């Protein structure tokens, strides 16, 4: 990343505090990338996050000072966050809950609060009302809300944001990795991984996500019933952990579905090199990290047409309605039977990925927002 000179002696650098919750794969990676870019440009960065998030993303390794902050809104947690924010020129909260905690910690201070909404919470009944109240508080407390999709920007405006802007974040670009080849011409590593996963002589489908209801795994299992009739039946590999694991495994066993739960994996880019098709069945996504990885790798993607997914992937993926198992099954079946279409989507995916903002673009945009509000 490019850097700017450290300010001359006697001039203070900008001090920005990043407030993070538990850190989803997308927001945690973004804050790590953003921290490294800001530090390179002479900004003093403090990251307030739970120890687990620091362990997962190593914010200090990116040049930040780390202040442990529990992802709670009790008085002790808010007081600790208030102390960490003392003297900051600007506070940047990532996610709804982090934004609410930051607004409580800042209280009557005039420190500008920037909020990035990476996703939205799913809730029903009384909890849905609570989520709306939290969104309203976060939106109205912020000097500006940065939404990672157009839908989130509109949502922030409906919740009373004074200023809401589209700010598509970039996640770290992948390092060198094997090019996916949808034929028999590879170096053998792809075949070896497929053997390890149990897909040596049949197509391999891959999805990655937390095992919870909103991720659409129940619809995937419905589609897997239809895939059993294919010859050979494709294997669906699901990477991730969560509260739905036991129920999903029980159903896989009871219905004898061609599905394998892989648990939490840190080698998703490598898994993608072995996959024939990537599947994203979520109820809602903004800039799904898995979709970005699939397109960058050149793996054909079937995804639900929800949230920010259509504007993220453009025409470089097959889009289906959320919850429509038949449409999902048909889309996957059609790709498996059309190698030409898979090759075209692979090329279109890489081309689409090349249009996304880089890490430098993202840091420059955020820093311009910081400058705007600290100068005021």
The answer to whether the beta carbons of residues 140 and 161 sit under 8 Å apart is yes
Is 217 a residue whose pLDDT tops 80? Answer: yes
pLDDT tens string 244-254: 999 999 999 99
Over residues 88-131, the pLDDT tens digits come to: 999 999 999 999 999 999 988 899 999 999 988 877 788 889 99
Q: What pLDDT score was predicted for residue 178?
A: 42
Strand order in the sheet with 144-147: 65-68, 44-49, 15-20, 90-94, 113-117, 144-147, 164-166
270 within 8 A of 196, measured Cβ to Cβ: no
Question: For residue 153, what are its two tokens?
Answer: 């920007």
Residue-level pLDDT at 124: 78
Q: Is the omega angle on the peptide bond into residue 309 within 30 degrees of 0, that is, cis?
A: no
Nearest to 96 by CA among 126, 116, 79, 72: 116
pLDDT of residue 182: 42
Reported as type and span, the H/E element at residue 66 is strand 65-68
Peptide bond into 232 cis (omega under 30): yes
pLDDT tens-digit map of 165-194: 999 888 676 554 444 444 444 557 888 999
Give the C-alpha separation, 68 to 322, whole Å. 38
All domains of the chain, ordered by start, with CATH? Answer: 15-172+358-375 (3.40.50.2000), 189-353 (3.40.50.2000)
- Which pLDDT score is estimated for 127? 87
Contact 14, 90 (CB under 8 A): yes
| pLDDT of amino acid 25 | 59
pLDDT of 283 above 70: yes
Model-level pTM? 0.86
Mean pLDDT of 316-330: 98
């Amino acid at each position: 990343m490019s850097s700017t000179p450290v300010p001359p002696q006697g001039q203070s650098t900008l001090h920005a505090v990043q407030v993070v919750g538990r850190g989803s794969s997308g927001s945690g990676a973004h804050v790590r990338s953003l921290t490294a870019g800001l530090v390179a440009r002479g900004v003093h960065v403090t990251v307030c996050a739970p120890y687990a998030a620091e362990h997962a993303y190593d914010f200090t390794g990116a040049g930040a000072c780390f202040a442990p902050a529990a992802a709670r809104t009790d008085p002790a947690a808010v007081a600790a966050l208030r102390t960490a924010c003392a003297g900051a020129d600007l506070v940047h909260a990532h996610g709804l809950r982090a934004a609410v905690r930051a607004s409580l910690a800042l209280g009557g201070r005039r420190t500008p609060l920037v909020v990035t909404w990476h996703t939205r919470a799913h809730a029903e009944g009384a909890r849905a009302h609570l989520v709306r109240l939290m969104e309203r508080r976060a939106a109205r407390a912020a000097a500006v809300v940065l939404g990672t999709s157009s839908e989130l920007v509109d949502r922030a405006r409906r919740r009373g944001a004074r200023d809401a802007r589209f700010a598509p974040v970039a996640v770290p670009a992948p390092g060198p990795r094997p090019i996916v080849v949808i034929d028999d011409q590879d170096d053998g590593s792809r075949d070896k991984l497929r053997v390890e996963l149990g897909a040596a002589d049949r197509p391999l489908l891959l999805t990655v996500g937390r095992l919870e209801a909103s991720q659409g795994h129940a619809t995937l299992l419905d589609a897997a019933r239809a895939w059993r009739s294919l010859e050979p039946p494709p294997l669906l590999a699901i990477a991730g952990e969560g509260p739905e694991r036991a129920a999903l495994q029980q159903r896989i066993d009871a219905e004898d579905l061609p599905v394998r739960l892989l648990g939490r994996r840190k080698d998703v880019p490598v898994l993608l090199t072995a996959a024939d098709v990537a599947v994203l069945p979520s109820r809602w996504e903004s800039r799904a990290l898995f979709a970005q990885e699939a397109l960058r790798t050149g793996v054909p993607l079937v995804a639900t047409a929800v949230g920010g997914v259509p504007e993220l992937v453009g025409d470089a993926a097959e889009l289906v309605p959320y919850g429509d198992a038949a449409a999902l099954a048909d889309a996957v079946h059609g790709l498996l039977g059309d190698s030409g279409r898979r090759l075209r989507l692979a090329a279109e995916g890489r081309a689409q990925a090349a249009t996304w903002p880089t890490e430098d673009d993202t840091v420059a945009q955020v820093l311009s927002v910081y400058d705007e509000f600290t100068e005021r």
